[in-house]
Amino acid sequence: MPPTFLFQPLDPDVEGRIWHQFTNVPFFIFGPLMMFLMHPYAQRRSRYIYIVWVLFMVIGLFSMYFHMTLSFLGQLLDEIAILWFLGSAYGIWMPRCYFPSFLGGNRSQFICLVFITTAVSTFLSFLRPTVNAYALNSIGLHVLYIVCQEYRKTSNKELRHLIEVCVVLWAGALTSWISDRLHCSFWQRIHFFYLHSIWHVLISITFPYGMVTMALVDASYEMPGETLKVRYWPRDRWPVGLPYVEIQGDDKNC
């Protein structure tokens, strides 16, 4: 007869932590997959793009570590990984017209500025952990502002669709995270421990959509001689897929 403990239900807190760890798996799947799918684009635009996807996987690794240990160090590493991921994407894809005027549109100087700011924020986060939240929110709000500005300016249906999907996914992820933080006791009373897991899944999908969105915005400024086509893995015709860009060389100017 099998041991009776095999049929005993898991402690709800343990079950929730298991789900939180399991829902980090998409980071380890989407990261290498996006590196492969975006390889031709990265070769043409910038090989630093590979760093962005490596950091994307690091987010999943540190998030898994945090939910395994529930330690302050784990939480800090998780937030710092997100900060460097956003900072890297920010430096690569931010359109020059949104650079501070004193940089004169120089991307190298802008990347140095982003690197220094991110490094200082990382150092300060060890002294005052709340600094990370302000840094992440500042980058997120600025990116949202730029996306809204570009949405108003563009007539590109693919770009508008990507922005719409990205905003919906981000809103769903943020709602799950806020609800989990603010109403934790309520969800525990009704034995629903999956909101944070939903946040993991939605944000792991939102990031690829966001990166492809920024790649399209960036192309209109940095790659005027190229046409970027949005494709979806595994099939373009499927209602749900992972977006990536394919370069189609022509003489059309954006």
Residues in binding site? 67, 196, 200
CA distances (Å), origin 135, targets 10, 82, 113: 37, 10, 14
> Which residues are annotated binding-site positions for Zn(2+)?
67, 196, 200
- For residue 192, the one-letter residue type is F
Closest CA to 76 of 27, 19, 121, 26: 121
Q: Would you list the DSSP string of the chain?
A: ---GGGGSPPPHHHHHHHHHHHTTHHHHHHHHHHHHHTHHHHHHH-TTHHHHHHHHHHHHHHHHHHHHH--HHHHHHHHHHHHHHHHHHHHHH--GGGS-GGGTT-HHHHHHHHHHHHHHHHHHHHH-THHHHHHHHHHHHHHHHHHHHHHHH---HHHHHHHHHHHHHHHHHHHHHHHHHHSHHHHHHTT---HHHHHHHHHHHHHHHHHHHHHHHHHHHH-TTEEEEEEEES-TTSSS-EEEEEEEE-S---
CA–CA distance, 155 with 171 (Å, rounded to integer): 23
